[in-house]
Amino acid sequence: MTTPVLDCRDLRKSFDDLVAVNGVGFSVAPGETYGLLGPNGAGKTTTISMIAGLLERDDGEVLVEGRPLTTTSVSAKSAIGYVPQEIAIYPDLTGRENLRFFARLYGMSGDDLTRRMDEVLGIVGLADRADDPTKEYSGGMRRRLNIGIGLLHRPTLLILDEPTVGVDPQSRNAILESVDQLSAEGMAVLYTTHYMEEAERLCDRVGIIDLGELKAEGTRRELVSMVGERDEVLLALAGDVEAAASACRALPAVHDVSTREEHMELVVDEARKALPAILEAISYAGSAVRSVEVTEPDLEAVFLHLTGKALRD
Amino acid sequence: MRAALLIAAKDLRQRLRDRSAIMVAVVVPLGLAFVFNATLGGISTEGVAFRYGVVDEDRSEISAVFVDEVLPAVEEGGAIRVRSVPSDAEGRRSVEAGDLDALLVVPAGFGAAVEGSGAAEIRVVGDVDEPTAAQVARSIASTFVADLNAVRVAVATVADPHATDPAELDALVERAAAVATPVDVVDVTATTKELDVTTYYAAGMAVFFLFFTVQFGVASLLDERKDGTLSRLLAAPIGRSAILGGKLLTSFVIGTLSMATLIVATSLLLGADWGDGIGVALLVLSGVLAATGIMSIVATLAKTSEQAGNWQSIIAVVLGMLGGVFFPISQAPGFLPTLSLVTPQAWFLRGLSDMAGDTGWTVVLPAVLAMLVFAAVTGAIAAVRLDRMARL
Amino acid sequence: MRALAIAGVNVRRMLRDRSNVFFVFVFPMLLILVLGVSFGRGFEPRIGVVAADPGALGRDLVRTLEEMPDVDVARYDSVDDLRTSVERGQLEAGVVVPEGYDGAIRAGRDAEVRYLARQGELGLQLSRTVRSAVAEQGQRLRAARLFVAERAGSLDEGLARADVAAEALEPVEVVTTTVGEAIFPTSLGRFDLGASSTLLLFIFLTSMTSAVALIETRRLGLSRRMLSTPTSAGTIVAGEALGRLGIAMVQGLFIMLGSLILFGVDWGEPLGSAALLVSFALVGAGAGMFLGSLLRTEQQAIGLGILLGLGLGALGGCMVPMEFFSPTMRTVAHFTPHAWALDGYAELVRRDGTIVDVLPYVGILLAYAAVLLGLASWRLRRAITG
């Protein structure tokens, strides 16, 4: 088994009386995108801050590539690229100066630094504005630079803390695409969000967190099936609906069938896999399918099931 | 260490772009030094020669001694100029007009009265606004008069009240006159450990604004927290002491650079005389350290950068005033000069003043030591508090 | 009136900022206190004395020195301390009556008194004072010595007889009178001089730095917001001016009444005093507004505000009295409003003037105010209405 890029166990943190994080632990494999999904106040940022070594832990352990990481043990921090939720750049320095400063803090120098800086500027699309003071950047540009700084030192694990909050749809899409790209190139990513769509789109595995505790984790499939949610298939038919219904009821993957006029609604396991059999059964029963709609249960439903609350209020 | 230097370099770059830093560090103190020099630069701390007029209404042998021998001798001793004035009335007019600082009048009948053992007086007419000039004029006249009185008293003490032989009496008078005062006044010149007005205000303004200049280092820690960049610094593989070290280094460098600039500028442009280079360097370095320590503690007491700035301004102003940057509090009466030594500013100015007598740079060591003690104590406290501040 | 509402907001904003409380109210009072304590009592040269000999003759000399008028004699225990004080300017001169003073005189030898002073005129001048004290004591000693020489008695006997003889004589004296009108009359209270200069310095300084608030108002778009209400640009400008005047008046009244109550400062005839305050406050208001209308960032305003506030104050005689300036600088000083206001207060406080006497000064100050406010209004309107 390869060493996980990140392995954290039993993280705990309290602020006065408030228990913010209560025994959270998970691991991120190399090249994996792991999402921490939870509503505001769930403890995502506190957990991330402990992992990145910004906040003192009350208890627990953090290992990055097998090396322990604390607020004082600094070498392990080189493996992490941190992109905080709020934009953390110096307004009176230019984009290039910001990048150079942080690159040097991470031990880069010389030609390597210059090359990598230009590379990152290209990746985040700021090459032409690199020499302007960042206070003149638009909001989207600042966000891109914010992410760029995290990438500079070629980290093994990129930590993004709610990078799309308050961002316009276009920029948000650009950010998600970048993360997709980085992930495809083999970077491990730890991504926190309260947007289910992002978690579903980007993450290989998702950890659902609420009130400082990790309620469940796994791939989307695993989570969904963990709570017994099944897919729904809605078909508009031409022909004998009842015959089609009976045919489908006989299929092992189908759990329930209901009809309404010319529509048939099925509750099935893994609709994508079962669909060919369903379509065959319907055609065999002498009906024709006019339209198919597959609704897979989403993480929002999982969250609701696990916590009794909505993911977003 | 390397990280601390990187952070300090970044801070310095930011500060150089920030025009308010340059204003406070150089422009304003230099401007004020200019103004003070313009308004007060001509004033000498050692005073001016007194101008006396003398009127001899008596024209006797004795008054001639006073006017033609005693007064010129005093004039030769320096610091006093005497000229003859035709009449009492004209002399008074001159004093009132400010052309003379005081008038000495030997009234008619003086010599006769002295010889005849009658009452006699020399009159001094002073300017109400020049009490010291009047006082010194009186002293000069008193010395002469004391001499006359001494002979009289001596003769009266020794003479036989029943002796009537004038020749014997004359001889006695001569013997009495020959007895000299058995006390010599020996003049010892003390070194002048005082700065001239131009240098005093150049140094005063420099050390006053130093306490504003060093704020930029440590207070920026609060700014980093507000801007969110503190979390980036903490996420980087550098350690908290590097962050604090960088900030303190920034304060130190900015403070030293601004002081150096002011010293050069005031020396070249105003003719300020700061003294021996080594002594000045030691004072500046220890002063910057003390200022950094004190202002750092103040910064740690605040929650926002703005609050820190306010508190720092108040402390800087109070300490500056007590330390004597606006007026020479070291020359005030009572306990104030001692109280002022609670401030590093007072030690800085004292160090420079002590060097003013051309006594070599080692004379600044007590002041340097005092400021280093300030720096050490405040630095230790600040270090602990700053460490707590450099966390999320 | 809307202008008053704008003015009120300004005053409230100023009072709410806690650091302002120190600089606007507390610090001026502190300064008046320290100035009064340090320099309030006028300048008497200070002569330090170390009487190392316990004998009667030495003590007698010191007493003679102490009884001299117009010098302040302080006793010191150590010669090193005395020398340091002289060197540092805490004393104008020092006198050492060394050990063996009495002994030498009684033995018929000459004794020595050391006189310490820095190089310069004043040192030389004060040596005359010390010499005259020595000469005065010399009267008795010379008589006693003659007695010892002629009558072979003891020195003490000689001194006693000399005293008796002196009583019977008509003395030769020095009589002093003074002419002229005192620039600083003795009736001037200890804190009075510092009070008026501090008052003016701080009203102007506060007005200058309040330019920051004006810039902030513009920057935060508040001016535009005000303009979007049915308020004319003219009213806004008037409101800002009234606001600044209000702040200056609050500060000025606080300093005047506070120093009166705490330090017994005499501000002269109330009507004249108030007239000077109001007219100077208007000048400050105009200057602050003009500065705020010219500059664009708060940082520029703070730096320039402090420079101009302190600089013009110093030029105008608020730091060191104009009476110590050279004639040229006194003329230059009168380019500042401060100098005129100070002249007005001098008239009221030192020469018991009335409102009639200060009207010319008030007039000049109002002229300054009119020009500054006019310029400020013009620029501000342009800045607000874009």
Sequence-ordered list of residues with C-beta below 8 angstroms from that of C188, at least 6 positions apart, any chain: C349, C350
B211-235 pLDDT, tens digit per residue, is 999 988 888 888 888 888 999 999 9
Share of chain A above pLDDT 70, in %: 99
| Tokens at B112, concatenated | 């006769």
Domain A230-296 - what CATH class? Answer: alpha beta
B125 three-class SS: strand
Separation CA B285–CA B296 (nearest Å): 16
What distance in Å separates residue B183's CA from the closest CA in chain C? 5
**Partner residue opposite C165 with nearest CB, options B48, B121, B153:** B153
* CB-based contacts of C70, cutoff 8 Å, min separation 6: B131, B132, B134, B135, C44, C45
Least confident of A229-243, A256-270, B33-47, B332-346: B33-47
Mutate to test the interface with B, among C25, C174, C297 (most CBs of B within 10 A): C174
Question: Are residue C285 and residue C371 in the same domain, yes or no?
Answer: yes
Q: Measuring CA to CA, which residue among B144, B145, B143, B124 is closest to residue B135?
A: B124
Q: Which CATH number fits the domain that encloses residue B77?
A: 3.40.1710
For residues B289 and B250, state if they share a domain: yes
pLDDT band at residue A101 using 50, 70 and 90 as cut-offs: very high
**Is there a contact between A106 and B240 if contact means CB atoms under 8 Å apart?**
no
Cβ-Cβ contacts under 8 Å between B and C: the total is: 362
Q: Say yes or no for a CB contact (<8 Å) between B392 and A106.
A: no
* Residue whose C-alpha is closest to residue B195's, from B187, B186, B204: B204
| Higher-scoring residue by pLDDT: B17, C364 | C364
The reply to whether C116 and C16 lie within a common domain is no
Does residue C193 belong to any structural domain of this protein?
Answer: yes
Query: Which secondary structure element, helix H or strand E, spans residue B52, and what is its range?
Result: strand B50-56
Q: Which of C140, C168, C196 lies at the terminal end of a domain, its last residue? A: C168
What pLDDT was estimated at residue B324?
92
Tally the domains of chain C.
2
What number is the average pLDDT over the span A137-141?
87
Residues B112 and B207 both lie in one domain: no
**Torsion B110-B111-B112-B114 (CA) sign:** positive
Contact B47 C122 (CB under 8 A): yes
H/E element, B126: strand B120-127
Tell me A10's DSSP state. E
Do C96 and C26 reside in the same domain of the chain? no
Judgement on whether residues C80 and C27 belong to the same structural domain of the protein: no
Please tell me whether residues B165 and B202 are part of one structural domain. Answer: no
Digit-coded pLDDT (tens) for C149-170: 888 888 888 888 888 888 888 8
Asked if residue B301 and residue B347 are part of one domain, the reply reads yes
Residue A76 contacts residue A69 (beta carbons within 8 Å): yes
Q: For residues C229 and C202, state if they share a domain.
A: yes
Which two structure tokens, joined as six digits, stand for B21? Answer: 């830093």
Structural domain harbouring C93: 46-168
Give CA–CA dist B377/B370, Å, rounded: 11
Structure tokens at A193: 């969000």
**Half-sphere exposure (Cβ direction) of C218: Cα atoms closer than 13 Å:** 23
Residues C308 and C226 in one domain: yes
For chain A, domain boundaries? 6-225, 230-296
| Residues in chain B within 8 Å Cβ distance of A157 | none
Neighbours of A110 (CB within 10 A): 7
Q: Strand A205-210 and strand B120-127: pairing?
A: unpaired
Q: pLDDT class for C386, splitting at 50, 70, 90?
A: low
Judge whether B191 lies within some domain: no
In this complex, the chains that touch B, judged by 3 or more CB pairs closer than 8 A, are A, C
Residue C200: the pLDDT is 95
Most confident of A177-181, C93-97, C350-354: C93-97
B14 CB neighbours in chain A (<8 A) are 90, 92-93
In a domain, C177, yes or no: no
Class in CATH terms, A6-225: alpha beta
Q: Is there contact between B and C if contact means ≥3 C-beta pairs under 8 Å?
A: yes
The helix (run of H) or strand (run of E) holding residue C370 is helix C355-385
- Residue C175 belongs to a domain: no
In whole angstroms, give the CA distance from residue B339 to residue C367: 44
Are B59 and B136 found together in one domain?
Answer: yes
Q: Which residues of A touch B245 (CB under 8 A)?
A: none
| Identity of the amino acid at C367 | A
The pLDDT tens digits of the residues spanning B291-317 come to: 999 999 998 888 877 788 888 888 999
Is pTM beyond 0.90 here? no
Instruction: Report the DSSP pairing between strands A213-218 and A205-210.
Output: antiparallel
pLDDT digits (tens, 9 = 90+) for A179-191: 888 888 889 999 9
Summarised one tens digit per residue, pLDDT across range B135-191 is 999 999 999 999 888 888 888 888 777 767 778 778 888 888 888 888 888 888 888
Count of structural domains, chain B: 2
C178 within a domain of the structure (yes/no): no
Chains A and B touch (3+ CB pairs under 8 A): yes
Picking from A81, A75, A116, the residue whose alpha carbon sits closest to that of residue A191 is A81
Query: C172 contacts in B (CB within 8 Å)?
Result: 113-114, 119-122, 145, 148-149, 152
Distance from CA of A57 to the nearest CA of B (A): 12
Q: Is the pLDDT of residue A313 over 60?
A: no
User: What is the nearest CA distance from A72 to chain B, expressed in angstroms?
Assistant: 6
Residue-wise pLDDT for C261-295, tens only, equals 999 999 999 999 999 999 999 999 999 988 888 88
CA angle, residues B267, B268, B273, in degrees to nearest 5? 25
The contacts found for C186-192 with CB under 8 angstroms, 24 or more apart, are: C188/C349, C188/C350, C189/C40, C189/C263, C189/C264, C189/C265, C189/C266, C190/C36, C190/C37, C190/C40, C190/C41, C190/C263, C191/C32, C191/C33, C191/C35, C191/C36, C191/C40, C191/C259, C191/C263, C191/C264, C191/C265, C192/C265, C192/C266, C192/C349
C61 and C26 inside one domain? no
Same domain, C17 and C58: no
CA distance A210 to B132: 86
Predicted confidence at residue C251, as pLDDT, reads 92
| A103-122: pLDDT as tens digits | 999 989 899 999 999 999 98
Please indicate, yes or no, if residue B188 is contained in any of the structural domains. Answer: no
Interchain touch A–C (≥3 Cβ pairs closer than 8 Å): no
Q: What mean pLDDT value characterizes chain C?
A: 86
pLDDT at residue A100 tops 90? yes
Are B6 and A54 within 8 A, CB to CB?
A: no
Q: Does B233 touch chain A (CB under 8 A)?
A: yes
The band of A157, judged by pLDDT with boundaries at 50, 70 and 90, is very high
Q: Residues B211, B304: one domain?
A: yes
pLDDT band at C227 (very low <50, low <70, confident <90, very high): low
Residue of C26, C129, C179 to mutate when probing chain B, most B C-beta within 10 A: C179
Neighboring chains of A (3 or more beta-carbon pairs < 8 A): B
The reply to whether B14 and B68 lie within a common domain is no
| Secondary-structure percent of chain A, ordered helix, strand, coil, rounded to 5 | 40, 30, 35
Q: Is residue C174 part of a domain?
A: no
Task: Classify residue C245: in a domain, yes or no.
Answer: yes
Whether B141 is in a domain gets the answer: yes
Which range, of A24-38, B17-31, B47-61, C341-355, averages the lowest pLDDT? B17-31
> A83 versus C154: which is more confidently predicted?
A83
Closest partner residue to B235 (CB to CB) among A72, A82, A89 is A82
Distance of CA C138 to the CA centre of its chain: 40
- Reported as a pLDDT band with limits 50, 70 and 90, residue B206 is very high
Regarding whether B327 and B265 lie in a shared domain, the answer is yes
Lowest average pLDDT, out of A27-31, A220-224, B375-379, C333-337, goes to A220-224
Residues C231 and C342 in one domain: yes
Q: Are residues C29 and C50 in the same domain?
A: no
Q: Mark whether C33 and C57 lie in a shared domain.
A: no
CB A223 within 8 A of CB A192: no
**What would the pLDDT profile of C42-67 be if each residue is shown by its tens digit?**
778 899 999 988 888 889 899 999 99
Same domain, C249 and C319: yes
Expressed as residue numbers, the domain containing B343 is 2-42+196-389
Count the Cβ atoms, other than its own, within 10 Å of residue C374.
12
Residue A88, pLDDT above cutoff 70: yes
